[in-house]
Amino acid sequence: MTATATTDLVTHYINGTWTTDWAGLTNELRNPATGQVTGRVALAGLDEVDRAVAAARAAFETYSHTTIADRVAMFSRIAAEFTRRAEDMAIAVTTDMGIPIAGSRIAVGAAILQFTSMIDTLPGYPFHDVAGDHIIDKDPVGVAALIPPWNYPSLQMAEKVAPALAAGCTVILKPAEIVSHAGEVFAQIMDAAGVPAGVFNLLVGKGSTVGTALSKHPGVDMVAFTGSTDVGIQVQKDAADTVKRVSQELGGKSAHIVLPDADLDLAVTTAVNGVMSNSGQTCAAPTRTLVPAPLLDDFLRRVKSAVDGLTVGDPMKEVDLGPVANQTQWHTVQDYIQIGLDEGATLITGGPGKPDPTASGWYVRPTVFADVTNNMRIAREEIFGPVMSVITYTGIDDAIRIANDSEYGLAGYVTGEDTDQAKRVAARIRAGQVVVNAVTPNLFAPFGGYKHSGNGRIWGTAGLEEYLETKAIVGQI
């Protein structure tokens, strides 16, 4: 941890000021690679929530009337400052939650892109449009509470803050507690970029107190939530009495259909990178790999060889996998590996325990199961760890049926040489973003869930529109 990037006590940034009068409870922050304490986080209470909401409400009165040129200029300053602080952010994230530093740097690049893409989008966006005999205006929703998770925190904070501010909303960001250092660097960037007081506020602390209070608060107009489906449902319920808009980006159990004509090298790369990167802590990970029976043996041989070649270790070094984010996550993943064994799936590689049993960090063995059926818990439930479930299918209709037989619908993947056929298969997958012959999602295209994977969209113009109200002006105009 560089001393300049983060402080020992992470606190709240409200109305353009870091709170120094705060004297409540703190929690320790720990580096999952070592178990070492890296600092403390102040736990916001209801008083801080009220102050942040009041600041955002007051700032909304002026900020919502700023011109597009003003916002573009502000976004240029944010992008420049974010670029200057990119390495501090990457280090803070890796220290907080253990993603290998190379992956953290890529995510920071994607985070900066959230601001630069709004610079491109804003000038052409029809905030004021004449549609036949009436006018359509797009107004900011108001004060938005932004509650992202911890798995790609730099991107997940930016993909909410950038469109919200672009729309003219003012915001209160509540990062996941374990990535509070990353939240602190984010607020430092906003402060240094001259975002006006009250337009951006940071509250650190617990989701169960701060998140709940924001979801229920009558002064908050919208909650943008990314996280687990269970918590997303609770947020929706907490927000119901005040009729807030709730945008949900929730969990996933995405299928990767390897078509019979697939280039197996590409299929293996997609499967292994998609499931194993960030130690499987990717909402859109293709955790169910659907393989046609004739290809199965060859596919499994290649997957085993690729997975056995992955390096697991200190995320500040050049490794493929760091630790999972914390002790709780480690035990959850261990439980699921045992569930897979108990359910009768065939362990191809990996398995229970740490790769190096003497390591103090929360490292997991990248694990592959074959002979998985789609009714097993390892095929139905989100594990959020480096665990691949390989399911065999008999024909394309069967593959699509299995892919769609899930309560989730976040992403899908299709690998096949005949691109037209691959696109036809993609069109039949009930999920918000389907990737053909690749593994990386497209940050300029809408992303979000069908079914229990949520109801909101992030990225691109669709992400901006989450934060806009539609007003019609009609009559004798």
Nearer Cβ to ligand NAP (138/253): 253
Mark the segment that binds ligand NAP (CB under 6 A) among 72-80, 108-116, 231-239, 267-275. Answer: 231-239
Q: Give the nearest distance from C-beta 303 to ligand NAP in angstroms.
A: 23
Which one among 252, 322, 323, 409 touches ligand NAP, defined by CB under 6 A? Answer: 252
Nearer Cβ to ligand NAP (208/338): 208
> Interface with ligand NAP includes 145 (CB under 6 A)?
no
Mark the segment that binds ligand NAP (CB under 6 A) among 18-26, 32-40, 79-87, 221-229. Answer: 221-229
Considering only residues 314-373, where is the footprint of ligand NAP by CB under 6 A?
Answer: none
Size of the site for ligand NAP (CB under 6 A): 30
Residues with Cβ < 8 Å from 312, sequence gap 6 or more? Answer: 319, 320, 321, 322, 355, 363, 364, 365, 366
Nearer Cβ to ligand NAP (313/432): 432
What is the rounded CA–CA span in Å between residue 164 and residue 166? 5
Q: What number of other Cβ atoms are within 10 A of residue 427's Cβ?
A: 10
Nearer Cβ to ligand NAP (190/283): 283
Nearer Cβ to ligand NAP (374/455): 455
Residues belonging to the chain: 477
Q: What number of other Cβ atoms are within 10 A of residue 243's Cβ?
A: 8
> Interface with ligand NAP includes 235 (CB under 6 A)?
yes
Binding mask 187-216 for ligand NAP (x = CB under 6 A): -------------------xxx--xx--x-
Q: Give the nearest distance from C-beta 229 to ligand NAP in angstroms.
A: 7
Structure tokens at 322: 């760091």
Which one among 149, 198, 286, 441 touches ligand NAP, defined by CB under 6 A? Answer: 149
Considering only residues 427-456, where is the footprint of ligand NAP by CB under 6 A?
Answer: 449, 453-454
Which one among 81, 88, 249, 320 touches ligand NAP, defined by CB under 6 A? Answer: 249
What is the rounded CA–CA span in Å between residue 156 and residue 458? 10
169 among known catalytic residues: no
Q: Are strands 288-292 and 387-393 parallel, antiparallel or unpaired?
A: parallel
- From the candidates 48, 81, 283, 466, which is the catalytic residue? 283
Contact assessment for residue 439 and residue 284, using Cβ atoms and an 8 Å cutoff: no
Mark the segment that binds ligand NAP (CB under 6 A) among 44-52, 110-118, 120-128, 229-237. Answer: 229-237
Give the residue carrying structure tokens 């529109």.
465
Q: Give the nearest distance from C-beta 192 to ligand NAP in angstroms.
A: 24
Q: Give the nearest distance from C-beta 378 to ligand NAP in angstroms.
A: 16
249 among known catalytic residues: yes
Mark the segment that binds ligand NAP (CB under 6 A) among 108-116, 249-257, 334-342, 358-366. Answer: 249-257
Widest CA span of the chain, in angstroms?
A: 77
Which one among 227, 280, 292, 416 touches ligand NAP, defined by CB under 6 A? Answer: 227
- CA-based nearest residue to 343, from 306, 387, 386, 300: 387
Which one among 177, 184, 320, 466 touches ligand NAP, defined by CB under 6 A? Answer: 177
Q: Give the nearest distance from C-beta 466 to ligand NAP in angstroms.
A: 12
Structure tokens at 319: 């490794």
Return phi, psi of residue 159, to 5°. Answer: -70, -10
Q: Give the nearest distance from C-beta 287 to ligand NAP in angstroms.
A: 10
Structure tokens at 299: 């596919």
What is the rounded CA–CA span in Å between residue 6 and residue 179? 11
Contact assessment for residue 37 and residue 69, using Cβ atoms and an 8 Å cutoff: no
What is the rounded CA–CA span in Å between residue 430 and residue 442? 18
Give the residue carrying structure tokens 């469109």.
163
Which one among 176, 306, 364, 390 touches ligand NAP, defined by CB under 6 A? Answer: 176
Nearer Cβ to ligand NAP (182/370): 182
What is the rounded CA–CA span in Å between residue 116 and residue 30? 32
> Interface with ligand NAP includes 147 (CB under 6 A)?
yes
- In sequence order, what DSSP letters do the residues of 314-334 get, joined into one string? -TTSS-SB---SSHHHHHHHH
Q: Give the nearest distance from C-beta 398 to ligand NAP in angstroms.
A: 26
Contact assessment for residue 258 and residue 422, using Cβ atoms and an 8 Å cutoff: no
- From the candidates 81, 249, 382, 466, which is the catalytic residue? 249
Q: What number of other Cβ atoms are within 10 A of residue 343's Cβ?
A: 16
Which one among 60, 384, 393, 413 touches ligand NAP, defined by CB under 6 A? Answer: 384
- CA-based nearest residue to 63, from 139, 160, 123: 139
Nearer Cβ to ligand NAP (69/233): 233
Q: Strand, coil or helix: what is 131?
A: strand
Contact assessment for residue 289 and residue 413, using Cβ atoms and an 8 Å cutoff: no
Burial category of 66 from C-beta neighbours within 10 Å (exposed 0-12, middle 13-18, buried 19 and up)? middle
Using CB under 6 A, list all residues that contact ligand NAP.
147, 149-151, 174, 176-177, 206-208, 211-212, 215, 226-228, 231, 234-235, 249-252, 283, 382, 384, 410, 449, 453-454
- Catalytically active residues are 249, 283
